[in-house]
Structure 1
Amino acid sequence: MALHDFEAPLLKWAFSQIISNNFNTEQIWKMVKEKANGKGRFSKTNFWIAIRNPLYCGKIYIPPYKEEKGYFVLGKHQPLISEKQFADVQDVLDGRKKEIKPKILSIDNLPLRGFLKCPNCERMLTGSASRGKMGNYYYYYHCSSPCKTRFKAELANDAFLKQLQYLSPKEGMVEVFIEAFIKDFNNKTKAHNTERTNIISEIDTLNKRYQNALLKNADGEMADDDFQEVKRLTKGNIEVLERRLNDLAVVGTEIKDLVASTLKKVANIARRYENGDIEEKRLIVSSMFPDFLEFDGTRHRTPRLNSAIALIYQNSSRLQDKKMGQVYHF
């Protein structure tokens, strides 16, 4: 999306926050929404497209045309961030750098601290350790006074891991879903492909018009004032068309890449959680369960799943969607 003066500083701030590794991307988007206070185009979809869009580091993507492969060119617009900053952001988003330092400090035995909601009073549970008579430490998730709700951390942690394992898709299911999604996406974007072809043709026509005017001016067949006017109009129109072309190309490419990358991570989510460090565990929890978890002593439930997770399991008997209160038991 092309940015207005109001949106540009907020998106630039978002890029810097992603690089700093202090919050996950979901949290950064929510902070941007709060700062925007209802202004600007900062829906979640627009935000994800924007932070993946090389337009903001000065590059424009020219999609494949006939026998030619797609490629990037330097645009004539002022970049919002440097190419290095854009590359650093992509490293974070693609998992080549740790995306998040936990906002709530949590020791290894309490990975769910800050995510669990009390089933009795609806406050968020905290967690702590108590020392036993033999000097061993025992960890608990518990509510604040006067509520006495308390669960053994080992019990809640084991239940959560078993539920993740239960959710793991069958072998090959993710690949099938990705293939079906891309096929459906391509069918629905045929109109965009036609529009891209038309834009490329318009750009080519404008470039030829400019080159023709340049030659006439050099040969003395066109006055300098007339040439400058043709140059201003053609270059201005070309820049507008290039922005439209880049938006169309990047949206399709990035959405498909994002869906494929996300779903491949879902396939091994339980193994990643079990073997991950505390940051990895908390990142998985915050990504899959954007609201909160509630533990009843046996299993966890949540009012809302990450949309990608909900979609891939929408026809699975492994995921029970309780319409009353829209609660997911997984």
Structure 2
Amino acid sequence: KQILDQIKTLEGKLSHIRDLLSSNQLDPNDFKEMKAEYQGNLERLEVKLSATSGEWANIQPLLNKGLENLLKIDYIYESGSIEQKRNVIGSMFPEKLTFDGIFFRTTRVNEVAQFIYLIKKELQPQKKRTRNEFAHLSAWEVPSGFEPL
């Protein structure tokens, strides 16, 4: 967006100096110098813009592959080798994961996994509780077996 704004600004300046030249308010030699400068800047910005667009085009296949893998992560875990299971767990819990005999603990959960859990939680029907019966219980639930450090 910033590059597009800069390109529009330079195109506006080029148009303005053409108008000044046509109304004899600008010397032809000055026009040539200014035009060469603006054209050079425009070409550099257009190269930057095309390189940036190319980067996004290269990302699309990676995003598609990542989404495919995410949609079949349960199958990969269930049918995979120990190494594949380790990779799945490592991708969901990118930092140290410890087991104290009862609970798993980690300092950080992958953001995508957090969003999936949040969406799943929102889609589940809400429990109807009376205030007196469950006043001592928290309404917020942590995934079973996981506890932040």
Give the shorter-chain TM-score range: 0.3 to 0.5
TM-score under structure 2 normalisation?
A: 0.47
Greater helix share, structure number? 2
**Relative contact order higher in (CA < 8 Å, ≥ 6 apart):** 1
TM-score under structure 1 normalisation?
A: 0.26
